[in-house]
Amino acid sequence: MSVEFLSVFFNGQKEPLSERISLQDFLRGKACNNPFYAVAINCEFIPRSEYSAKWIEDGDEIEVVAPMQGG
Protein backbone atom coordinates (compact mmCIF):
# COMPACT_ATOMS: atom_id res chain seq x y z
CA MET A 1 0.00 0.00 0.00
CA SER A 2 1.54 3.31 -1.00
CA VAL A 3 1.06 6.57 0.85
CA GLU A 4 0.34 9.60 -1.28
CA PHE A 5 1.94 12.81 -0.17
CA LEU A 6 0.85 16.32 -0.88
CA SER A 7 3.46 18.79 -1.95
CA VAL A 8 3.51 22.54 -1.47
CA PHE A 9 5.99 25.29 -2.16
CA PHE A 10 7.04 27.17 0.96
CA ASN A 11 8.94 30.37 0.17
CA GLY A 12 9.96 28.84 -3.15
CA GLN A 13 11.08 25.44 -1.82
CA LYS A 14 9.08 22.30 -2.59
CA GLU A 15 8.06 20.43 0.55
CA PRO A 16 6.08 17.22 1.07
CA LEU A 17 3.16 17.02 3.48
CA SER A 18 1.93 13.71 4.79
CA GLU A 19 -1.59 14.98 5.38
CA ARG A 20 -3.86 17.90 4.69
CA ILE A 21 -3.49 20.51 7.45
CA SER A 22 -4.64 24.02 8.24
CA LEU A 23 -2.47 27.01 7.51
CA GLN A 24 -2.26 27.66 11.26
CA ASP A 25 -0.84 24.17 11.92
CA PHE A 26 1.53 24.44 8.95
CA LEU A 27 2.93 27.74 10.23
CA ARG A 28 3.22 26.37 13.76
CA GLY A 29 5.30 23.50 12.36
CA LYS A 30 7.56 26.04 10.64
CA ALA A 31 8.05 27.96 13.91
CA CYS A 32 6.59 31.13 12.41
CA ASN A 33 6.10 32.85 15.75
CA ASN A 34 6.84 36.41 14.67
CA PRO A 35 3.59 38.39 15.00
CA PHE A 36 4.71 40.75 12.23
CA TYR A 37 4.69 38.46 9.22
CA ALA A 38 2.21 38.25 6.36
CA VAL A 39 1.13 35.10 4.53
CA ALA A 40 -0.04 34.63 0.97
CA ILE A 41 -1.22 31.42 -0.66
CA ASN A 42 -1.11 31.40 -4.44
CA CYS A 43 -0.49 35.18 -4.39
CA GLU A 44 -3.59 35.85 -2.25
CA PHE A 45 -3.11 37.49 1.16
CA ILE A 46 -4.65 35.44 3.98
CA PRO A 47 -5.86 37.40 7.03
CA ARG A 48 -4.53 36.08 10.34
CA SER A 49 -8.13 35.54 11.51
CA GLU A 50 -8.54 32.88 8.76
CA TYR A 51 -5.38 30.82 9.42
CA SER A 52 -7.22 28.08 11.35
CA ALA A 53 -9.97 27.75 8.72
CA LYS A 54 -7.71 27.83 5.65
CA TRP A 55 -6.67 24.34 4.53
CA ILE A 56 -3.47 23.70 2.61
CA GLU A 57 -4.09 22.10 -0.79
CA ASP A 58 -1.76 20.06 -2.99
CA GLY A 59 0.42 22.37 -5.08
CA ASP A 60 -0.22 25.52 -3.02
CA GLU A 61 2.46 28.19 -3.10
CA ILE A 62 2.82 29.58 0.42
CA GLU A 63 4.84 32.74 0.95
CA VAL A 64 5.66 34.10 4.40
CA VAL A 65 7.23 37.54 4.54
CA ALA A 66 8.36 39.68 7.44
CA PRO A 67 9.04 43.43 7.37
CA MET A 68 12.66 44.48 7.13
CA GLN A 69 14.32 47.75 8.10
CA GLY A 70 16.02 49.74 5.45
CA GLY A 71 14.97 50.80 2.07
Distance CA 49, CA 15 (A): 25
Residue ranges per domain, the chain? 6-65
Handedness of CA 26, 29, 32, 33 (dihedral sign): positive
Q: What is the pLDDT of residue 71?
A: 60
Give me the tens of pLDDT residue by residue for the chain, a chain 71 residues long.
445 678 999 999 999 998 889 999 999 988 877 778 899 999 999 999 999 999 999 999 999 988 777 76
CATH 3.30.365.10 corresponds to the domain 6-65: no
- Is-above-0.85 flag for pTM? no
